[in-house]
Structure 1
Amino acid sequence: MLDQTTSPNMQRAKGRAHLGFVARAGKTTLMDLHQSGCVKAMLPRNHAPVMDGVLINTAGGVTGGDQLQYSATLGDDTTLCLTTQTAERIYQSSSGHGTIKTDFSVGANATFDWIPQETILFNQSALKRNMTVTMDASSSVMLMESIVLGRRAMGETLNSCFLSDQWRVMRSGKMAYADALRISDPNALNTPATLGGNRAFTTLVYIAPDAEARRNQMQQMLNFDDVKTGVSAWNGCLVTRFIARDAQPLRKALIATLTQFRNAPLPRVWHM
């Protein structure tokens, strides 16, 4: 007979993917691949000068207790654009929080773009996410995260959720960029001093020897009727913020901006 006083052990998703690359004869070559659990990695063929990598969470989303780990190591003179297959959905948590840990190591004269598709927070979701990057002073790194507080078109409303998002970037052994985001009351983001009723926002960071010199180029690209933007540049970092009423106008703005700024097409999964 079942003990009615005992709570069932809920099945949780765990997964890890690691990719390692080196440069051989002027081309970026995969040297190390590990994938386990619900996380898979793919390297689809493309016709761009930059190799694309795609991370897939086969669990279909993240809820309390789930644990995902992504990591990549880029050797000297390598290039990689890494993204996710689709938006990451953070579902209602019955207990605890989901975790996503991301670690990247970027060698000398390497170029790395981490441009995942958006993270969608559902009501009563809970997520802790940490990203750590170590890079050489000669390398170029682009980092992006987009957050959507429920999908307006689906009638979703967030009354409660929790998000902790921590970024740390070390450049030649010194802290180059740090960002800390914490959301525990989505209703508090409706004021004019915060999101002002908008539901979607993005942080885009470009860290490279030419980052500050490209500030004007970035500003000239940001001409959108339905997306608010802001640009700052300092200490070898170019930081751009996007705020939109919903996910769709934000996505359109990001596709245009990333394609122009990178001077390369986005991975095909961005257009599916």
Structure 2
Amino acid sequence: MFDASLPSENMQRAKGCAEVGFGARGLKHLYQSGCSKALLPKNFQPTPEAVFINTSGGATGGDRLNYSAWVKDGARLDVTTQAAERIYRATTGEAVITNTLTLGENCQMDWVPQETILFENSALKRQLNVTMAESASLLALETLVLGRKAMGEILHSASLSDQWRIRRGDRLIYADALRFNAPDVQTQSTATLNGNRALATIVIVAPDAEDRLQFARSLLPFPDVEAAASAWSGILTLRFLAPDAQPLRNALISFLTQFRGRDLPRVWHM
């Protein structure tokens, strides 16, 4: 008689795992299960591409998604996602997305997924774990958008735990964490986002990373985007802040195309 007295149903949760591995002669490993898939488009370029897909169309509380890519024997690989990852309102729990990258000797990998969009009342725990050889080169990007401007949505309540861990040889060389968990997401303070709602981090780890700092800075700034670069101990990092997703996306496409010396994967332009 009273709906409130009825036990709540356990909603079906999405689970997925996709893995790719490349060697000097091309694809060595491909595995996919659940809602996570991997596509290997032909690009007629020296560097092959892998595109990860979440066929469920987004993630919400209780979903578990795992993506993994590795390269060995001097291989190169660009890894991206088919579209922006949407993190929907969570009724219980959090969406967990774990990305694992492994780079062997003299290998190069560019991890350039498209943006992640947090919806109101969403909850996300995301991890990027990298293990790389001393002679390997990594470029890693993560982009976060708070709310949907086109829908008039201003993010007031959300939960995020976003963690980076990069190990080079047997040493942890880079650790970063972004976390908030509050009914009122603070974005106005100059100590946080200064009123911006889109942010991105790029980390380059390579034998020549520090030498490329001045070149990276020469590509900045961009219209409506705040950006800065710094380098130390074989690591080059850049931070970007923008009032919305589109100016940030435009800046990232411009910067990455010039810095890498080649176009981003085609899905970025669809």
Q: TM-score range by the shorter chain?
A: over 0.9
Q: Secondary structure of 2:254's match? A: helix
Instruction: Give the whole-Å Cα distance in 2 for the aligned partners of 1:187 and 1:4.
Output: 33
- State whether structure 2 residue 114 is matched by structure 1 residue 117: yes
Q: Secondary structure of 1:184's match? A: strand
How many aligned residue pairs are there?
267
1:73 partner amino acid: W
Q: Secondary structure of 1:187's match? A: coil
Instruction: Give the whole-Å Cα distance in 2 for the aligned partners of 1:32 and 1:192.
Output: 46
Equivalent in the alignment of 1:197: 195
- State whether structure 2 residue 138 is matched by structure 1 residue 141: yes
Equivalent in the alignment of 1:11: 12
Q: Secondary structure of 1:180's match? A: strand
Alignment of structure 1 residues 95-174 onto 2, 5 Å: 95-174=92-171
Question: What per-residue deviation string (whole Å, max 9, x for no partner) do you get for residues 121-141 of structure 1?
Answer: 000000101111000111100
Equivalent in the alignment of 2:230: 232
1:260 partner amino acid: Q
Alignment of structure 1 residues 1-272 onto 2, 5 Å: 5-24=6-25, 29-185=26-182, 187-272=185-270
Question: What per-residue deviation string (whole Å, max 9, x for no partner) do you get for residues 149-194 of structure 1?
Answer: 0121221111100010111100011111111110224531211221
Contact 1:48–1:264 (8 Å) recurs in 2? no
Contact 2:225–2:251 (8 Å) recurs in 1? yes
Instruction: Give the whole-Å Cα distance in 2 for the aligned partners of 1:72 and 1:187.
Output: 33
Instruction: Give the whole-Å Cα distance in 2 for the aligned partners of 1:198 and 1:16.
Output: 33
Q: Secondary structure of 1:197's match? A: coil
- Give 1:246 deviation, angstroms: 0.2
Q: Which runs of 5+ in 1 are unaligned?
A: none
- Give 1:4 deviation, angstroms: 5.6
Bigger drift between 84-93 and 42-51 goes to 42-51
Contact 1:66–1:99 (8 Å) recurs in 2? yes
1:216 partner amino acid: Q
Q: Which runs of 5+ in 2 are unaligned?
A: none
- Give 1:47 deviation, angstroms: 2.3
Contact 1:108–1:137 (8 Å) recurs in 2? yes
